Amino acid sequence: MKKETEHIVLKASDLSVGYQSKKETHTVAKQINFELKKGELVGLVGGNGIGKSTLLRTLTNTQQPLAGTIHVNNQELTKINQLTLAKQLSVVLTENVSQTNLSVQELIALGRQPYTNWLGTLSATDIEKTVSSLDVIQIKEFAHKKCFELSDGQLQKVMLARALAQDTDLIILDEPTTHLDLYHKVYILKLLQRLAKETNKTILFSTHEINVALSMCDKLIVMKQEKTHFGTPQELISNNAFDDLFPKDLVAFDLDSGSFKIK
Amino acid sequence: MLLIVLVVCFFLNICLGSVSIPFKDVVAAILEDNSTKSSWQHIIINYRIPKATTALLVGSGLGVSGLLMQTLFRNPLAGPYVLGLSSGASLGVAIVILGSSLFGGAFSALLLTKWSLVIASSIGSFLVLLAVVLVSIKVKDTMAILIIGLMFASVTAAIVNMLSYFSTAEQLQRYVFWSFGSLGNLSWNELLILGVIYFIGVLLTILSIKSLNALLLGDHYAKSLGLNIKRSRFIIIIATSCLAGSITAFAGPIAFIGLAVPHLTKLIFDTSNHRILVPAVLFSGSILMLICDSIAQLPTSEYTLPINAVTSLVGAPVIIWLLMRKKKMFV
């Protein structure tokens, strides 16, 4: 029994997320429960404005939970110091970084910052980790290109390589497939799947590609107005978790094919 | 490479002036202390070297403070002059010089010492920087911050105008001369104080190199890399005020150096990595400032142009050219 709890990388119990101001508390989503194990690829799905980004911001300690707890590697998130957390959790955000004149390799090396000295000098290990994440993501051919020269798809791979170089148990990605064409969407998700299997990292990402996520993720977190579901795709389908994900006038979940169809 | 250019510019700057001194005599005066003419020796030790050293500190200090502000605000157009720090300093000085008559007799005599100008302009620029930082926490839009900086400048100009209306011709002249900017008015003692503050500013900057690189990715990424954002920001702001504030205090407002130097350096070195940029900006800032000062001397003539005008004439076209290239400007 004890051994099993060691494998849980990220755990949310009775979590409520939202915004708190002096006057009022605005709860975006509540009663969120899930446990992510090592090496799992987990998708976070839900309609626009349901609170996916709010949940991810809370999980990455950018904002405080309203209620409930989050544990990263069996430690409570709010009690882990910033630098220790940086060695356990890395992120890929939707923020634009192409304003900077850094080369791909320099950008990826920034992922080593939690491990470097006060001046940011790269040790042999740091360089090795940087190069190996270039290898894993297969972007060696543009390691010396500038970030602003890259396409959206290439830049997304670079940001993923940066997170990988940070060498954390858990990687959280906020909508890594937006702005990408269908080929690159599937490519990135395949890459995430391979990373989870090969490196045994836990990867959590939010996405609007429910059909693709259904076929590729080990588990899914489905956010809806009244409740948040968590389970394997099969469990969720048999529990009819997708039935009321969207208003029923335009799209509906087709049980036979296990995907959404346009009416 | 840069070091050689810097040394050459330094000596060239010492040679040039209302009295031209041959290069070998300059070297002799510095190294052996028995130059052929004792008047030359006097000029070199008491005027030319302090002035060249001031130019070196001013150029590199303003360049670095510009670089810090550009990264801090993630805005390629940020700089001490553009964001209104110099205006804040001007306001402080204007109140002291032009408003001194309002405070009356004995007190005004006390106010008009050189040190009161230094303190007034430091306080002025620090307050403006503080205001800009507070605004930037509320307003995320980088263009808006620049416009707010411009507004600070117009409010300052308006207050200075009002003060001028009520002051005597003598006071006005004093203020106008201060606003020309000057590198040549510093004695060795004053230079020492400027040097100490400059050193603190540069030291804090070097300590911030790692966090500056993380901040290139934006606050959220920087935080996810384990950076203490609040502390790093605070250190960067202190470094900026030390450099920009003390330089404006001693040398008057110097336009565009803080904005132009980081961009020229980024253009030459083609990187955003602060481990390269910080030392490179220190060098190229000094070089550009020494060149501007040499131009201001109008070699072999007795006249000296206001240094603030020269840096504007050199700096403004550089910025316009950078914007016209249609290539992206980087933070």
- pLDDT in 10s for each residue of chain A, 263 residues: 445 555 899 999 999 999 988 888 899 998 999 999 999 999 999 988 899 999 999 999 989 999 999 999 999 999 999 999 999 999 999 887 867 889 999 999 999 999 999 998 999 999 999 999 999 998 999 899 998 888 888 999 999 999 999 999 999 999 998 888 888 888 999 999 999 999 999 999 999 988 889 989 999 999 988 889 999 999 999 888 888 888 888 888 888 888 888 88
Q: Residue B218 region, left (φ>0) first, then alpha (ψ -120 to 50), else beta?
A: left
Q: Which long-range contacts (CB under 8 A, 24 or more apart) does B112-119 make?
A: B114/B190, B117/B93, B117/B178, B117/B249, B118/B246, B118/B249, B118/B250, B119/B249
Residue B210 in contact with residue A126, Cβ under 8 Å? no
Whether residue A100 and residue B228 make contact (CB cut-off 8 A), yes or no, is no
Looking at every residue in chain B, the average pLDDT score rounds to 84
* Span(s) in chain A for CATH 3.40.50.300: 1-81+170-176+201-263
HEC sequence for A5-30? HHCEEEEEEEEEEEEECCCCEEEEEE
Give the Cα separation of B234 and B9 in Å (integer): 35
Residues of A in contact with B206 (CB under 8 A): 119
* Chain B interface includes A257 (CB < 8 A): no
8-state DSSP, A113: G
B12 vs A146, more confident: A146
**Closest by CA position to A102, among listed B142, B214, B202:** B214
Each residue's pLDDT tens digit, B35-93: 566 777 788 888 888 999 999 999 999 999 999 999 988 888 888 877 888 888 888 88
Measured between CB atoms, which of B206, B213, B270 is closest to A110? B213
B185 neighbors B194 (Cβ within 8 angstroms): no
Q: Which tokens in the block code for residue A205? A: 């990402």
- Taking the Cβ of residue B213 and every Cβ of chain A, the question of whether any pair is shorter than 8 Å is answered with yes
Phi-psi region of B197 (alpha: psi -120 to 50; beta: other; left: phi over 0): alpha
Residue found by looking up tokens 């010396």 in the block: A144
pLDDT band at B105 (very low <50, low <70, confident <90, very high): low
Closest residue by Cα to residue A92 from A197, A192, A5, A237: A192
* pTM metric for this prediction: 0.89
- Cβ of B271 and A106 within 8 Å? yes
Give the pLDDT of residue B255: 80
Residue that has been written with the tokens 């509906």 in this structure: A252
Rounded mean pLDDT of B97-117? 66
With contacts defined as CB-CB under 8 Å, which chain A residues touch B216? 97, 100, 102, 110
Q: Does residue B330 surpass a pLDDT of 80?
A: no
DSSP for A183-205, please give it: HHHHHHHHHHHHHHHHH--EEEE
Q: Spell out which residues of chain B touch residue A114, defining contact as CB-CB under 8 Å.
A: 225-226
Q: How far is CA B108 from CA A42, B58, B67, B111, B172, in A?
A: 73, 29, 38, 5, 15
> Looking at the complex, does the CB of residue B331 fall below 8 Å from at least one CB of chain A?
yes
Contacts of A91 in chain B (CB under 8 A): 220-221, 224
Q: What is the CA radius of gyration of chain B?
A: 20
Nearest chain A Cα to B229, which residue?
A82
Long-range contacts of residues B18-22, Cβ cutoff 8 Å, at least 24 apart: B18/B297, B18/B300, B18/B301, B18/B302, B18/B304, B19/B43, B20/B299, B20/B300, B21/B48
B180 interfacial to chain A (CB closer than 8 Å): no
Tokens representing residue B87 in the block = 């205006």
- A166 interfacial to chain B (CB closer than 8 Å): yes
Chain A: nearest CA to B330, how far in angstroms? 6
Q: Is A94 on the interface with B (CB under 8 A)?
A: no
Q: Are A154 and A147 in contact (CB under 8 A)?
A: no
pLDDT at A1: 43
| Interface-testing mutation among B74, B203, B224, with chain A (most A C-beta atoms within 10 A) | B224
Distance spanning both ends of chain B, measured CA to CA: 25
Yes or no, beta carbons of B221 and A97 under 8 Å apart: yes
CA A23-A65-A219 angle, 5° bins: 140
Q: Can you tell me the mean pLDDT for B145-168? A: 84
* C-beta atoms of B226 and A86 within 8 A: yes
Handedness of CA B25, B29, B35, B38 (dihedral sign): positive
Six token digits for residue B209 = 């190199």
- Closest chain A C-alpha to B228 CA, distance in angstroms: 7
CB proximity A63 to B under 8 Å: no
Q: How far is B69 from chain A (nearest CA, A)?
A: 15
Q: Is the pLDDT reported for residue B194 higher than 80?
A: yes
Partner-chain contact A110 B74, CB within 8 Å = no
Q: For chain A, state the CA radius of gyration.
A: 19
B244, B62 contact by CB (below 8 A): yes
B210–A120 C-beta distance less than 8 A: yes
CA-to-CA distance for A233 and A253, rounded, in angstroms?
13
Chain B hits for A85, Cβ within 8 Å: 226
A100 at the B interface (CB within 8 A)? yes
Q: How far apart are the C-alpha atoms of B119 and B123, rounded to whole Å?
A: 6
Residues 6+ apart with CB under 8 A from A235: none
Mutate: best of B140, B203, B225, partner A, most A CBs <10 A: B225
The DSSP symbol for A44 reads E
Rounded to two decimals, the ipTM of the complex is: 0.90
CA distances from B152 to B86, B90, B128, B149, B158 (A): 10, 11, 8, 5, 10
pLDDT digits (tens, 9 = 90+) for B272-297: 999 999 999 999 999 999 999 988 88
Cα distance between residue B152 and residue B160, in whole Å: 12
**Are β-strands A25-37 and A219-223 bridged in parallel, bridged antiparallel, or unpaired?**
unpaired
Can you tell me the mean pLDDT for B290-319? 84
Instruction: Closest CB to A60: pick one of B224, B226, B328.
Output: B224
Could you give the dihedral angle defined by the CA atoms of residues B162, B165, B170 and B174, in that order, rounded to the nearest 10 degrees?
20
Q: B75 to chain A: nearest residue by CA?
A: A99
Which chain A residues are Cβ-neighbours of B74 within 8 angstroms? 99
- Find chain B residues with C-beta within 8 A of A62's C-beta: 220, 223
User: What are the residue ranges spanned by the domains of chain B?
Assistant: 54-324
Sign of the CA dihedral A182, A188, A194, A197? Answer: negative
Say yes or no for a CB contact (<8 Å) between B217 and A97: yes
Check pLDDT > 50 for residue B307: yes
Domain B54-324 is in which class? Answer: mainly alpha
Q: Does B267 touch chain A (CB under 8 A)?
A: no
pLDDT in tens, B225-271: 999 988 998 899 889 888 988 898 888 888 889 999 999 999 889 89
Indicate yes or no: CB of B270 within 8 angstroms of CB of A93: no
| B272: contact with A, CB 8 A cutoff | yes
CB atoms B224 and A89 under 8 Å: yes
And the tokens for B294? 């040499």
B221 touches chain A (CB under 8 A): yes
- In angstroms, rounded to a whole number, what is the distance separating the alpha carbons of residues B227 and B205? 16
Nearest CA in chain A to B331: A100
Q: Give residue for tokens 């105008």.
A: B161
Q: Where are the beta strands (DSSP E) in B1-130?
A: none
Contact between A119 and B331 using a beta-carbon 8 Å cutoff: no
Sort strands A219-223 and A41-45 into parallel, antiparallel or unpaired: parallel
Q: Which CATH superfamily is domain A1-81+170-176+201-263 in?
A: P-loop containing nucleotide triphosphate hydrolases (3.40.50.300)
Nearest CA in chain B to A81: B226
Contact criterion met (CB below 8 Å) for B320 and A90: no
A87 interfacial to chain B (CB closer than 8 Å):
yes
Three-state SS for A73? coil
Q: How far apart, in whole angstroms, are the C-alpha atoms of residue B154 and residue B166? A: 19
